[in-house]
Amino acid sequence: MTGITHIRYPIAALACWIAFAYTLVPLLRGHRRNAGLTALCVSFGCQGMYLAMSTPARWTGTLFGTITWYNVSVQLWIIAVLASQQILLIHWMYPRDEARVRARRRLLLLAVVPVTMVVLFFLATLQGPPRNVFKNLGDQPFFVAYQAAYLTAFVVGKILVARACWHFAKLTDHAWVRRGLRIAAAGAAVELVYPAGRYADVFLTQYGWNPLQWSDVSRTTLTIGMVLNIVGWTAPLWGPRVSAVRGWLADYRSYRLLRPLWLALHRAHPEISLPSSTGSDLSALYDLRFHLHRRVIEIRDGCLALRGHHGDPGAVLSPGQGAAGERHAEAEAAHIAAALAAGPRPPGQVPDGLAASDAASATGGPATGGADGTAPDSAGTGEVPASAAAGGPDFSADVAWLVQVSRAFARLRPAVTRPDGEPVRTL
């Protein structure tokens, strides 16, 4: 297990120092008055110091042997971490002026902990070198009191941090702040295994508890909890970038899935595309959002061109949810495929759909359908059809709907035909 400890602490310390540098940069750029960010930076620095100093190769004593002031300083770094995290949460939860007052009071209260620890440890040294062996608690009462003070402060601090994180996560509307606080709360809860194990080392050894058997477990959970803290506290900083990458990947996937429908409409009506458009999916890697908008617009223009050249190719159903949405998309794809297969209408011929529309406009009545003015339900689904070219006000919803139609179209029409008659896959 010693090898694992040698690897575990340096890796966790490196993660803390990276987080420390990540939060230090905005402070150096002019955010020195941001007390919350300052407390977060201090928290990472203290965690890094604790983990770096806990590397076994640098211990001046053994894990369950002689305790020195070096080991006390390691535990004081933990208290500093708890203090900085509580100050951070205070500045997040309260207005600036109130937060300053509350933070000042909390620091004065927390200052009692390290002072008490130092005094108790000094008194313990007067009775001889403190030892991490507790067969008889009466042999070193001051050191037992020191351990109790440290572990109690640790437990209370972590419970306060976990509760505050979980409570504040319910109040914020920022997705990554909410996720980060919940991860930090989980990290604080995991870290509570460490004081539980250390309590057992102090108070249960005389009843047969074996400290060496559980020391690696308690210290491993402490390291895991600290890593979760790093991830949780920094989530609002790196989380939006992750969301941006996920959004870009989703847009590119939508862009590719729209290709079968776009390509078929483009071959029937090349005028819908910009002269500079190559139609290559790789060309959209640069300025993807613009190319996705262009593809949606060109598909809508292609639907309008189909209506102008072939008449209304059929009732276009409005998007639905679940299985209904899939049926609507399949019906829409079938109408478009039928119009493309029909080819251009002969010159001078008036499509039935347009003739009915003209007659309706002349009489002031509905174009088709029942007395309420709705179009017929050609798919037999009982839904009210909508216009082929009408895009929804929500662009994301419009893209999702057209993706459904395009996928259904690819299944119905796996190949298109070049002008020379050679079939070509639309993928």
* Token code pair at residue 13: 């310390």
CA distance 110 to 82: 9
**Cα 340 from chain centroid (whole Å):** 43
Q: Does residue 188 have a pLDDT over 90?
A: yes
pLDDT of residue 389: 38
Average per-residue pLDDT for the chain: 77
Cα dihedral value 318, 320, 326, 329, nearest 10: 10
CA distance 419 to 415: 13
DSSP conformation class of 314 = S
| Nearby residues of 83 by Cβ (< 8 Å), 6 or more positions away | 106, 107, 110, 157
Q: Does residue 210 have a pLDDT over 90?
A: no
pLDDT of residue 29: 79
pLDDT of residue 6: 62
Q: Does residue 100 have a pLDDT over 80?
A: yes
CA count, 13 A, side-chain hemisphere, 354 = 12
pLDDT of residue 413: 63
CA distance 24 to 284: 37
Whats the size of the chain, residue-wise?
A: 427
* Token code pair at residue 204: 């249960």
Mean pLDDT, rounded, for 282-289: 79
- CA torsion sign, 122 to 125 to 127 to 132? positive
pLDDT of residue 245: 92
* pLDDT tens sequence across 39-76: 989 999 998 888 888 765 544 444 445 678 888 888 89
Nearest to 373 by CA among 383, 365, 381: 365
pLDDT of residue 308: 61
CA distance 389 to 381: 20
* pLDDT tens sequence across 12-30: 888 889 989 988 888 887 7
Nearest to 338 by CA among 375, 307, 384: 307
Q: pTM score, two decimals? A: 0.69
Q: Which helix (H) or strand (E) holds 297?
A: helix 288-310
Residue 399 carries which side chain, given as an amino acid letter?
A: V
* Token code pair at residue 143: 């050191």
Q: Does residue 402 have a pLDDT over 60?
A: yes
Cα dihedral value 19, 23, 28, 29, nearest 10: 130
pLDDT of residue 183: 95
User: Are the CB atoms for 405 and 261 separated by under 8 Å?
Assistant: yes
CA distance 27 to 24: 5
pLDDT of residue 56: 57
Q: Does residue 118 have a pLDDT over 50?
A: yes
Give me the helices (H) in 172-287, please: 175-191, 193-203, 211-257, 259-268
Mean pLDDT, rounded, for 158-181: 90
pLDDT of residue 146: 93
Q: Does residue 372 have a pLDDT over 50?
A: no
- Residue 315, sorted as left (phi over 0), alpha (psi -120 to 50) or beta, turns out to be beta
pLDDT interval class at 310 (50, 70, 90): low
Nearest to 180 by CA among 148, 228, 145, 124: 228
